Amino acid sequence: MTDYMRQSVTALILVLTSLTGGCSFSTDYVIVNSSGASVQIIYTIAPTSIDPLAATGVGIPAMLPASQLSGREWRKLSATEFAFDRVNRTVTVSLPPNQGLLITRGGDYNPNPPLAQKFIIEEIRIAGPNGEITLKGDAVPKAFVVVPKPFYSFGPPTLLKLTYT
């Protein structure tokens, strides 16, 4: 094998390794307010042996303009922008129009999770100018829709959203 061939094979191995080696993806679950007014969002985190906010994979809820969701440059909410009831494991946020609220972040997206796998958010209530939506149990993860990735992106979906209109 010539030096050129050896270098080419090494370069090819490095490229393939970098493309496939870090294939762990984080999936963001986002509530988007597409109405013309602020909406109140209350979500309940499932019982857990660790801090409920930490169990969401997000910690402090975060917000981002809906037009920038693909950028994932989330702004953590300040203590005055949300309320957390530790006893009931509920988070309350007023979400302005055209904003996205990151409520949980999971590992690789699985459209058909095993029955034993429980979604960390038990309930979501959204109240706004166009009525109230309440989702409980299995209806919660099913309400989120996969946001398609650009054609050049690899791997499973990394953004799922629930839109209030």
pLDDT at 148: 85
Indicate the domain borders of the chain: 24-164
- Which tokens is 31 given? 């509530």
pLDDT of amino acid 145 = 94
Summarised one tens digit per residue, pLDDT across range 113-126 is 655 468 999 999 99
Given this model, what pLDDT does residue 13 score? Answer: 44
| Residue for token pair 């969401």 | 56
pLDDT at 109: 67
Q: What radius of gyration do the chain's Cα atoms show? A: 19
Query: In sequence order, what are the residues at sequence separation of 6 or more whose Cβ sits closer than 8 angstroms to the Cβ of residue 29?
Result: 102, 103, 104, 105, 106, 121, 141, 144, 160, 161, 162
Query: Measured between alpha carbons, how far is residue 22 from residues 14, 83, 143 in Å?
Result: 13, 36, 29
8 A C-beta contact, residue 32 and residue 64: no
